Amino acid sequence: VINRYGFNSDGHAAVEQRLKEMQKYYELFRPGRIVGLNVGKNKTSPHAVRDYVQGIESLGPYADYLVVNVSSPNTPGLRNLQNEKELRELLGAVVAARDKLPKREPINYIEQRQKRRDAHVWTLAYQFGIWPMEEDYDFRYTSFSRPALPPVLVKIAPDVSPETLQGVATVVRDTKVDGVIISNTTIRRDFGFEHENLQERGGLSGRPLKEMSTKVIADFYKLTNGEIPIVGVGGVSSGEDALEKIKAGASVVQLYTALAYGGPGFVTKVKRELASALQTSGYASAQEAIGADHHRISGAAAADAATATATGGGERGWFW
């Protein structure tokens, strides 16, 4: 898919009202579901840092995690913010704004479920027998709480040079950003195939992006010795693709283009395929496979490090 949406929005006030309404819905119907907030600068704004900070201040209280998007190819000049000097200024300001947000109480999933039952709020999914299965899945993790402040992740492009990627790794460590999303769409078109729309303007996603994004994941994992959680995205259309991202260094995998084509049920399909691929490859869990393509950490240390990243242990753990 080639898209050139950009950062279209009705503005902070309109989005905040939607998030308020959605928050009420989630408390009753969908406890434990994660809401991410993707923040970018306005297309014509001369004050990029101010745009990001205002977005965090206005909408951060409603988010489970915050994404600093510096990699959309559809906003002029945005990718320049990936340069070390500009990125350091931006992330320093964003983390400072995040740290000033009101602290949140940990989510207690059991209490939320009981509250919903006491109010006699039932969903169609529950009536058809789907909801209890989802609850069983969610409530395996009740010992883990979401952090008091939303984690900050920076989303980078797959087209970054090695020098830029090194700068990103340095800045992320120095500013104590919680994770990196790798990657956004690509502006490249030299993938060895032809299509009448291939030269359309915009960011290309889907299968052609898979190898590019996986390589950047692997390179970033090596640059940071696996210390920074990575969300792997780009060209994932099967459980095997997801496992490739995990073995390269991703702690979490996202779907975009394949989800658009396959619909919501595609997530379950990929999860089942991933479980099968893990078993076939001899991994007891996805955590055990994180960074398996690298040999910087071995044996019990690798398992300990993966578990700490996935469950919220250690200085930068934030998954719950």
Q: Which residue has the tokens 């915009």?
A: 202
pLDDT per residue as tens digits for the range 138-179: 444 444 567 889 999 999 999 999 999 999 999 999 999 999
Which residues pair with residue 155 across a beta bridge? 69, 181
* pLDDT the model gives residue 4: 84
Angle (CA) 81 82 85, round 5°: 75
Catalytic residue at 238?
no
Secondary structure class of 182 (helix, strand, coil): strand
Tokens of 177: 């950003």
CA atoms 223, 229, 235, 239: torsion sign: positive
pLDDT tens for the chain, 320 residues: list them.
888 887 788 889 999 999 988 887 776 666 667 789 999 988 888 899 999 999 999 999 999 899 999 988 877 777 888 899 999 999 999 999 999 999 987 766 666 666 666 665 555 555 554 444 444 444 444 445 678 899 999 999 999 999 999 999 999 999 999 999 999 988 778 888 888 888 887 788 888 899 999 999 999 999 999 999 999 999 999 999 999 999 999 999 999 899 999 998 899 999 999 999 999 999 999 999 999 999 644 444 444 544 444 433 333 444 43
pTM for the whole structure: 0.82
Residue type, 258: A
What is the C-alpha separation between 287 and 306, in angstroms, rounded? 5
Q: What is the dihedral of CA 73, 74, 80, 86, to 10 degrees?
A: -120
Per DSSP, the residues of 74-104 read TSTTGGGGGSHHHHHHHHHHHHHHHHTSPP-
pLDDT per residue as tens digits for the range 77-96: 778 888 999 999 999 999 99
| Residue in 9, 45, 72, 298 annotated catalytic | 72
Residue 319 near residue 309 (C-beta atoms within 8 A)? yes
Radius of gyration of the chain (CA): 20
